Amino acid sequence: MKPNLITKITLCGLLLNGFYANAQKTNLEVNTATTVTKIQPTMYGVFFEDINFAADGGLYAEMIKNRSFEFEAPLMGWEQPNSDKHSFNTTSGIATTVKALENKTNPSFCRVLINDAKGFSMINEGFRGMGIKKDAKYNLSLKAANHNGAIKKIIIQFIDKNKKVLGETSIVPTANDWKGYNAQFTATQTEAKAQLKITFEGNGTIDLDMISLFPEDTWMNRKNGMRKDIVQLLYDMKPGFLRFPGGCIVEGRTLAQRYQWKKTVGDVEKRETLINRWNTEFTHKPAPDYFQTFGLGFFEYFQLSEDLGAQPLPILSCGMACQFNTGELVPMEELDPYVQDALDLIEFANGGTETPWGRVRSEMGHPKPFNLKYIGVGNEQWGPDYIERYKVFEKAIKAKYPKMIIVSGSGPFPEGDYFEYGMQELKKLNAEIVDEHYYKSPQWFRENATRYDSYDRKGPKIFAGEYAAQSVAIASPDNRNNWECAFSEAAFMTGLERNAEVVNLTSYAPLMAHEEAWQWTPDLLWFNNLEAYGSANYYVQKLFATNRGTDLIAITKDGKPVTGQNNLFASAVKDSNSKEVIVKLVNTSATAQEVNVDLKGTKLQTKGTIITLTSPNLQDENSFANPKKISPTEKGFNLKGDKAQTSLPPYSVTVLKLKMK
Ligand code: AHR
């Protein structure tokens, strides 16, 4: 036979096989009466890390980059177009920075010498521009010391790239010494790439610091607030927990650059700026202007958790810098301050207002405790150094707070020596919850829906704390949030759900990315300075989280769990609050599949709802131009007796919802 013919016959055979397999109905059985296990309210949560400009330039609504002149290059983000920056003989004026040594955490400020007020301006570029909306109000604040009252007025304007003014206000600086000033103004036009221009009336010297600008319309209208559109996307997911602040950012490239929560609470202007560890991590995506001002700090994360109805889940440094970078270690005999940070954090979150850290929380506006139940020790650590340090944290935390649930980590990979060693040791220590991370191919996700079927039911509970299908490879800048990745994650998530007895918390990672300033892709949400949208993966997460249920029930085919036979994956839950039975079905094949779900055990109402998430092409994605291209559609359907019959579209995630009588 000629090779061509062989190929044709084989191909034909394969197609026919596929056709017959898919043309026949698949019969599934759901036992609605028996609870297999409880689904934890924390089952589906969100993982927040300040990567991809997720905090400054993203969720945190501050619009000025380098507002307090503390970046390594202290005038980064600021232009002074008509000034000769290298000479004091400038005709128009010059802005330089000065360090006030008495101010330890925010020492630098900007000294402006104005020779010719008409010629001099300072322009802040924002985070790849500033997104402003027509008729929206913006709140500006700054601190100024006006030497000898020389400057009569500070004029503040939004401008576009042609220098057209898009809104204006002014401040009269009345004091020689440092004083705070506020002004509000309205944008006259919508513009994604606006900048803030500052000009002056009068000649002489004025010092400026903390030049800050927020939209009035932040989430819950809070000052120092968050972007409403981004929080809304999170809120709509109904996440069971919020993990913060990362990720590798917890560890730091060096110990000195680790995340220190105590430096992120209290007065915003006293919080110490730190280089973001993603600033230089990837040569393919350098971000030299990426710093952490910590305006979004631990108080704000706790508050956000509360707003979202999510359990707060802070993760702390365990005295090990990122092992992919320096791997610096705190000697065991110097670990105490790190452990104390954990104990103090619990007091900050839960302590009475009479306690030192409880008082700090109360003074920040939250006298009631945040009801912290979980705390994480280390992020992606591995090896004996981690286990040794974990033991010290565990002992100290449990001695003071026996009910606090400690999350430990199994390292960066879901298999291999680091993982095996970590898991084995943590099991010996009766660890309560172990965090696992997997950034793998979509195929891996489809093939690993049974991962937890064999996990010891008496062993540690699992936090699938960071996972995402990678269309190319981990850390590749070419990874896409495409539909194949999203439905493969859905297939895998039926496996997480079927194993809810072991898997208690799960989260996709990373959570979000700025369209122009990202370092890591894929990401659950994408935003620019004006808009934000959820990827196809977001809608998968949202479907599972908003249909979490309270009780796992069995769904089987021929008595076996549905884990990819004929490219079909399934899980089922009951919700004792909404009195619903919820069945999740994922068809990862290129053809439609007829399914017949036999629901036995409880009387159900005939009318149900079917939600479908699908797209014809594996490479399809959501985008700013078409943000809901892949998003759920909902319609009614009728049970036939005890049976739900439906056709699952090719490449689809389907949720069937039925009311119990
Ligand atoms: O999510 C991006 C990074 O991946 C996290 O910071 C880290 O924990 C993991 O390696």
Give the confidence band of 5 by pLDDT, cuts at 50, 70, 90.
very low
- Residues 449 and 168: their CA atoms lie apart, in Å, by 57
Protein residue with its CA nearest to atom 3 in ligand 1: 247
- Residues 27 and 596: their CA atoms lie apart, in Å, by 5
- Please tell me which residue in 251, 269, 328, 380 is annotated as part of the active site: 380
Give pLDDT, residue 14: 41
Each residue of 556-606: pLDDT tens digit? Answer: 999 999 999 999 999 999 999 999 999 999 999 999 999 999 999 999 999
- Mean pLDDT, rounded, for 238-262: 98
- Residues 418 and 656: their CA atoms lie apart, in Å, by 40
CA distances from 553 to 106, 452, 584 (A): 56, 16, 12
- Mean pLDDT, rounded, for 479-503: 98
User: Residue 101: is its pLDDT beyond 90?
Assistant: no
Give the confidence band of 104 by pLDDT, cuts at 50, 70, 90.
confident
Exposed / middle / buried, residue 37 (Cβ in 10 Å: 0-12, 13-18, 19+): middle
- Asked, as a colleague might, if the bond just before 173 is cis with ω within 30 of 0, I would say no
Atom of ligand 1 nearest to the CA of 520: 2
User: Residue 87: is its pLDDT beyond 90?
Assistant: no
- Mean pLDDT, rounded, for 252-264: 97
Exposed / middle / buried, residue 119 (Cβ in 10 Å: 0-12, 13-18, 19+): middle
SS3 449: coil
Parts of the chain belonging to CATH 3.20.20.80? 46-61+219-267+302-545
**CATH no., domain 23-39+552-660:** 2.60.40.1180
Give the confidence band of 636 by pLDDT, cuts at 50, 70, 90.
very high
Query: Ligand 1: which of 381, 440, 520, 537 to mutate, most ligand atoms within 8 Å of CB?
Result: 520
- Residues 637 and 117: their CA atoms lie apart, in Å, by 71
Six-digit token pair at 414?
């879901």
- Mean pLDDT, rounded, for 55-79: 97
Topology annotation, domain 78-215: Jelly Rolls (2.60.120)
311: β partners: 241
Parts of the chain belonging to CATH 2.60.120.260? 78-215
Query: Ligand 1: which of 439, 524, 537 to mutate, most ligand atoms within 8 Å of CB?
Result: 439
Burial 628-642 (b: 16+ CB within 10 A, else e): eebbbeeeebebeeb
Give pLDDT, residue 85: 56
DSSP state of 282: -
> For domain 46-61+219-267+302-545, which CATH number applies: 3.40.50.2300, 1.10.3720.10, 3.40.440.10, 3.20.20.80?
3.20.20.80
Each residue of 18-39: pLDDT tens digit? Answer: 333 445 799 999 999 999 999 9
- Mean pLDDT, rounded, for 209-236: 98
Atom of ligand 1 nearest to the CA of 379: 8
- Does the beta carbon of 246 sit less than 6 angstroms from any atom of ligand 1? yes
Atom of ligand 1 nearest to the CA of 248: 6
Of all residues in the chain, the percent with pLDDT exceeding 70 is 95
SS3 349: helix
Query: Do the bridges between strand 311-316 and strand 374-377 make them parallel or antiparallel, or are there none, so unpaired?
Result: parallel
Q: Residue 53 C-alpha to ligand 1 middle, in angstroms?
A: 14
Each residue of 393-438: pLDDT tens digit? Answer: 999 999 999 999 999 999 999 999 999 999 999 999 999 999 999 9
Give pLDDT, residue 1: 36
Give pLDDT, residue 82: 78
The residue ranking higher by pLDDT, 284 or 627, is 627
Active site residue 380: yes
Of 417, 420, 502, nearest to 463 by C-alpha is 502
Range with the lowest mean pLDDT among 101-115, 267-281, 331-345, 514-528? 101-115
CA distances from 566 to 23, 453, 614 (A): 11, 19, 18
Q: Residue 51 C-alpha to ligand 1 middle, in angstroms?
A: 9
Give pLDDT, residue 22: 45
- Kindly provide the residue ranges of all beta strands, DSSP E only, lying in 410-495, ordered along the sequence: 433-440, 461-469
- Does the beta carbon of 412 sit less than 6 angstroms from any atom of ligand 1? yes
Protein residue with its CA nearest to atom 4 in ligand 1: 247
User: Residue 15: is its pLDDT beyond 80?
Assistant: no
- Does the beta carbon of 247 sit less than 6 angstroms from any atom of ligand 1? yes
Q: Residue 5 C-alpha to ligand 1 middle, in angstroms?
A: 49
- Mean pLDDT, rounded, for 454-471: 98
Of 213, 74, 217, nearest to 130 by C-alpha is 213
Exposed / middle / buried, residue 473 (Cβ in 10 Å: 0-12, 13-18, 19+): exposed
The residue with tokens 């500052």 is: 198
Give pLDDT, residue 84: 61
Q: Residue 239 C-alpha to ligand 1 middle, in angstroms?
A: 20
- Mean pLDDT, rounded, for 114-125: 91
User: Residue 444: is its pLDDT beyond 50?
Assistant: yes
SS3 499: coil
Give pLDDT, residue 162: 97
- Mean pLDDT, rounded, for 427-455: 98
User: Residue 16: is its pLDDT beyond 70?
Assistant: no
User: Residue 52: is its pLDDT beyond 60?
Assistant: yes
Give pLDDT, residue 24: 74
User: Residue 90: is its pLDDT beyond 70?
Assistant: no
The residue ranking higher by pLDDT, 194 or 282, is 194
Six-digit token pair at 376?
């994480």
User: Residue 236: is its pLDDT beyond 70?
Assistant: yes
CA distances from 293 to 285, 493, 518, 520 (A): 21, 36, 18, 21
Q: Is the dihedral of CA 234, 237, 242, 244 positive or negative?
A: negative
- Mean pLDDT, rounded, for 621-646: 97
Parts of the chain belonging to CATH 2.60.40.1180? 23-39+552-660
Give the confidence band of 145 by pLDDT, cuts at 50, 70, 90.
very high
